[in-house]
Amino acid sequence: MRWLASKENTIFLGQGVRYSGHGMFATLEDVPMDKRIELPVAEDMQMGMSIGLSLQGYTPISIYPRMDFLIIAMNQLVNHLDKMKEMSHGEFNPKVIIRTAIGSKIPLDGGIQHTGDYTDGLKKLLNNVDVIKLDKPEAVLNAYKWAYKNEDSTILIEVADLYDR
């Protein structure tokens, strides 16, 4: 996240980006507070805001701490972000980096509503948003660099059980 934060046009938004509450929070320690927008539990609104920020020249890193929460943003993700370039005949191509995780089962299992892996389903639903599962820690930095340089939006799916505890 330090590498992304060093880019002038990036902004981080979501739940738990300014205040601790999930495993991803610790990975934001080098992201300046003026690059973080804390949001309430409103996942669909968050995706819509991310699209809007992108259309204004930002590269938003939209953080959904668990993949299960990303499901609530499917309207904006599937019907807008994924299709906007086609619907606008190439006039608009919002680029959002979506960061999510498959919830941890250790040391405590969060239950079936917090540990889902919907990677395959997202790949089937989305035509223009790249979906990448990061199941090897050494792949994380290069994947985020690629997503930043990619002209299209990307969902990066982290595996929370790989985080240091």
According to the model, what pLDDT value does residue 164 have? 62
User: Closest by alpha carbon to 97, among 160, 54, 140, 66?
Assistant: 54
- Residue 9 gets the label, from left (phi > 0), alpha (psi -120 to 50) or beta, of alpha
pLDDT higher than threshold 90 for residue 130:
yes
pLDDT higher than threshold 70 for residue 165:
no
pLDDT digits (tens, 9 = 90+) for 20-29: 877 788 889 9
Q: Which residue range(s) make up the domain with 72? A: 2-162
Residues 6+ away with beta carbon under 8 Å from 132: 143, 147, 154, 155, 156, 157
According to the model, what pLDDT value does residue 2 have? 95
Query: In angstroms, what CA-CA distances link 23 with 16, 27, 38, 39, 146?
Result: 9, 8, 16, 17, 23
Which CATH number does the domain housing residue 44 bear?
A: 3.40.50.970
Average pLDDT, the chain: 94
Q: Is residue 98 classed as helix, strand or coil in its secondary structure?
A: strand
Q: How many domains does the chain have?
A: 1
pTM summary value: 0.94
CA dihedral of residues 122, 124, 126, 128 (deg, nearest 10): 120
* 134, amino acid identity: L
